[in-house]
Chains A and B, each alone.
Chain A
Amino acid sequence: MKVLVTVKEVAEVEDDFEIDGTGVDDRYLEYDLNEWDDYAVEEAVQLQEAGDDIEVVSVTIGPERAEETIRMALAKGVDRAIRVWDDALDQDLLDTATKARVFRAVVEEEEPDLILTGVQAGDDAFGATGVALAESVGQEWAAVVNQLDIDHLLAENVARVHRELEGGVEELTDVELPAVLTIQTGINEPRYASLRGIRQAQSKEIAPKTLADLGLEAGDVESSLFLTEMYEPESESDATLFEGSAEETAAELASVLREKGVGAE
């Protein structure tokens, strides 16, 4: 059995930052493995540990810089990685259809039985790639999965999942494999990479692939969405902010709270 996990290196913005054109100035960005993908990687590795002969492969669309992040996934137990990059992919905003097209080409080569993605990427938060990919490759899917019955999957080839809906309600769904599941945070406890894992990751393969390697052309990855503006939203805040030392601000807040009847015995 083969499990494919899509992973993305996402940028996080520091507290103080500046916008340069249609992006946040690079000086204020820190890169990390997308939070949701960390859970997807963990789920794949747990599946591998529970079954026999399960290969876990990760795939990323991203520049060379992303390799450090990909190594983290390898150190946690992913067997090998694929990194797709090409000048034509270097756009401000890759729309969902474009990403699905690239991943589809990888899926056609790898033929995984199960694909795990994160629910969304923490940076642009489209939350759509996994389901679009499933449709594009003609597989079943389930979005926002916060529980997966691993034993049932291994025995029956059916993903028995909980989908986390709003308001503390979960939907119980059975999905036939092959399928794509978009993984929600909290489904498991992502491990830290062990020293041994980190050492082993150094010798694992990260296969670089261009569009041509995947049988695609620049024309196949023309996004239909364009980012034309980025700005800091006008603060709608009419909050009273207390300034000064911790002692002073705490005293001021305390008197407001007392007025509201908080803390009165």
Chain B
Amino acid sequence: MSADVLAVAEHRRGDLRDVSFELVTAGRELADATGGDLHVAVISGDVDGFAEELSLDGVDVVHTVDYGEEFNHDVYVQAVEALYDEVDPTAVVMPNSVNGLDYAPAVAERLALPLVTDAVGFEWDGALTATREMYGSKVETTVEVESERVAVTIRGGEWPAEETHDGAEVRAFDFEPDEDAIRSTVTGFEEVGAGDVDISEAEVLVSVGRGIEEEENIELVQRLADALGATLSSSRPIVDNGWLPKNRQVGQSGKVVTPKVYIAVGISGAVQHVAGMKGAETIVAINTDPNAPIFDIADYGIVGDLFEVVPELIEEFGGE
């Protein structure tokens, strides 16, 4: 076994995703601790173009796997397995993205590596110790891995992106997959959430979450939005329940919004929600739970019951 670290980049429809550059930072941090090299793998798509972009400070070798265009987990699992045999790393680092969740557990299982997902920090002392959250970010935990080899996925946005270019060695990896083992077929992509309203254009958003309890109560928050001249948006469960259309959803799988003011009403501030609104200029939270993670990123807050506070606010702004 080498002390090296293998990080697997992510791209979609022609572009490297942000997490790829964060993986370089996280991978370098780990490789510094293990005393090894950082290898970055880029699989499918325009691998030569991607390799150039990934020739970053801290990267020792970029391995290109020129097979197919878009992500396919059967290809990724085979390619990472083959690269693992070649590099013999102590740690494999992958993104905790939707596609990461589609191949990292299979890689770990196939290579018999312990798997830590959604790490927000780590240390190395002969083995990995990772920090991860539980119970919707209410607590943080330390997880020790009892093995000198490990697979880990990292949460997006936790490590800074590496942006400094530096010539890394690029190696074209000789990859011959077992094509019979490629049994899933990606047939296309679909954009969802189009519609009459584009919440990403709004200057002020009033956003409603599960704290609203019932569909008929949505109207209360709509009235607040009207009184403020704002647009109504929401967290995911409201859309899952069919109470508002998909184009109102803020977050990882909805829209990324950067309004001047974002008012979160009865929203806990789960990581996938925050991914969509942390860029707002001013964040306001109204929530009964003083420990709700939304208060960590809020600029102003009221710890209180929305059913009491919202009617008062509507009145303040002369609403109906």
Residues of B in contact with A, size category? 35 or more
A189 cross-chain contacts in B, Cβ below 8 A: 241-242
- A230 and B295 contact, CB distance less than 8 A: no
Bound Cα distance from A143 to B100, whole angstroms: 9
- B138 and A13 contact, CB distance less than 8 A: yes
B143 cross-chain contacts in A, Cβ below 8 A: 93, 225-228
**With an 8 A cutoff between CB atoms, is A135 at the interface?**
yes
Q: What does the 1/0 interface line of B32-64 toward A look like (CB < 8 Å)?
A: 000000000000000000000000000000000
Bound Cα distance from A24 to B252, whole angstroms: 28
A174 in contact with B284 given A168-B253, A239-B295, A257-B228 (CB within 8 Å): no
Bound Cα distance from A240 to B284, whole angstroms: 9
**With an 8 A cutoff between CB atoms, is A156 at the interface?**
no
Closest A residue to B103 by beta carbon equals A131
Closest A residue to B251 by beta carbon equals A166
**With an 8 A cutoff between CB atoms, is A250 at the interface?**
yes
CB-CB contacts below 8 Å: B178-211 with A: 183-193, 204
- B106 and A131 contact, CB distance less than 8 A: yes
Closest A residue to B286 by beta carbon equals A253
Binds B, one of A1-9, A45-53, A59-67, A120-128: A120-128
Q: Smallest CB–CB gap between A263 and chain B, Å?
A: 5
A231 in contact with B140 given A96-B105, A173-B187, A253-B284 (CB within 8 Å): yes
Q: What does the 1/0 interface line of B90-126 toward A look like (CB < 8 Å)?
A: 0000001111011111101110101111100000000
**With an 8 A cutoff between CB atoms, is A236 at the interface?**
yes
A165 in contact with B12 given A132-B106, A232-B139 (CB within 8 Å): yes
**With an 8 A cutoff between CB atoms, is A68 at the interface?**
no
Residues of A in contact with B, size category? 35 or more
**With an 8 A cutoff between CB atoms, is B222 at the interface?**
no
CB-CB contacts below 8 Å: A1-55 with B: 11-13, 15-17, 19, 22, 24
A100 cross-chain contacts in B, Cβ below 8 A: 109
Q: What does the 1/0 interface line of B276-311 toward A look like (CB < 8 Å)?
A: 000000101100111100011111111111001101
A175 cross-chain contacts in B, Cβ below 8 A: 183-184
- B192 and A168 contact, CB distance less than 8 A: yes
A203 cross-chain contacts in B, Cβ below 8 A: none
Q: Which of B115, B256, B316 is the one whose CB lies under 8 Å from A128?
A: B115
Q: Which of A176, A185, A246 is the one whose CB lies under 8 Å from B308?
A: A246
Q: Smallest CB–CB gap between B43 and chain A, Å?
A: 16
- A176 and B183 contact, CB distance less than 8 A: yes
Bound Cα distance from A15 to B106, whole angstroms: 36
**With an 8 A cutoff between CB atoms, is B175 at the interface?**
no
B134 cross-chain contacts in A, Cβ below 8 A: 123-125, 230
Bound Cα distance from A264 to B110, whole angstroms: 60
**With an 8 A cutoff between CB atoms, is B229 at the interface?**
yes
- A24 and B135 contact, CB distance less than 8 A: yes
A174 in contact with B142 given A241-B302, A250-B316, A263-B227 (CB within 8 Å): no
**With an 8 A cutoff between CB atoms, is A134 at the interface?**
yes
Chain A binding surface SS class: mixed
Bound Cα distance from A130 to B104, whole angstroms: 11
Bound Cα distance from A241 to B309, whole angstroms: 14
Kindly name the residue among A186, A189, A232 whose own CB sees the greatest number of chain B CB atoms within 10 A: A186
Closest A residue to B99 by beta carbon equals A165
B241 cross-chain contacts in A, Cβ below 8 A: 189
- B295 and A235 contact, CB distance less than 8 A: yes
- A169 and B190 contact, CB distance less than 8 A: yes
Q: Smallest CB–CB gap between B286 and chain A, Å?
A: 8
Q: Smallest CB–CB gap between B200 and chain A, Å?
A: 10
- B302 and A253 contact, CB distance less than 8 A: yes
A262 in contact with B229 given A125-B134, A226-B144 (CB within 8 Å): yes
Q: Smallest CB–CB gap between A215 and chain B, Å?
A: 19
Closest B residue to A128 by beta carbon equals B105
**With an 8 A cutoff between CB atoms, is B160 at the interface?**
no
- B146 and A185 contact, CB distance less than 8 A: no
A225 in contact with B185 given A122-B136, A135-B105, A170-B192 (CB within 8 Å): no
**With an 8 A cutoff between CB atoms, is B166 at the interface?**
no
- A168 and B137 contact, CB distance less than 8 A: no
- A128 and B229 contact, CB distance less than 8 A: no
A127 in contact with B102 given A19-B139, A165-B12 (CB within 8 Å): no
- A254 and B313 contact, CB distance less than 8 A: yes
Excluding A127-B117, A135-B77, A162-B190, 19 further A-B contacts by CB distance (< 8 Å) are A97-B112, A100-B109, A126-B117, A131-B102, A131-B105, A132-B105, A163-B98, A165-B98, A172-B189, A225-B146, A227-B143, A228-B129, A230-B134, A231-B140, A233-B140, A237-B295, A241-B302, A246-B309, A257-B261
Sorted nearest first, the 10 A-B pairs with minimum C-beta distance are: A250-B312, A186-B240, A246-B308, A229-B142, A224-B114, A254-B316, A128-B105, A135-B106, A131-B105, A143-B102
Interchain residue pairs with CB less than 8 A apart (15): A13-B138, A93-B143, A125-B118, A140-B183, A165-B12, A168-B192, A168-B255, A172-B187, A173-B184, A175-B183, A224-B145, A237-B295, A247-B312, A254-B313, A256-B300
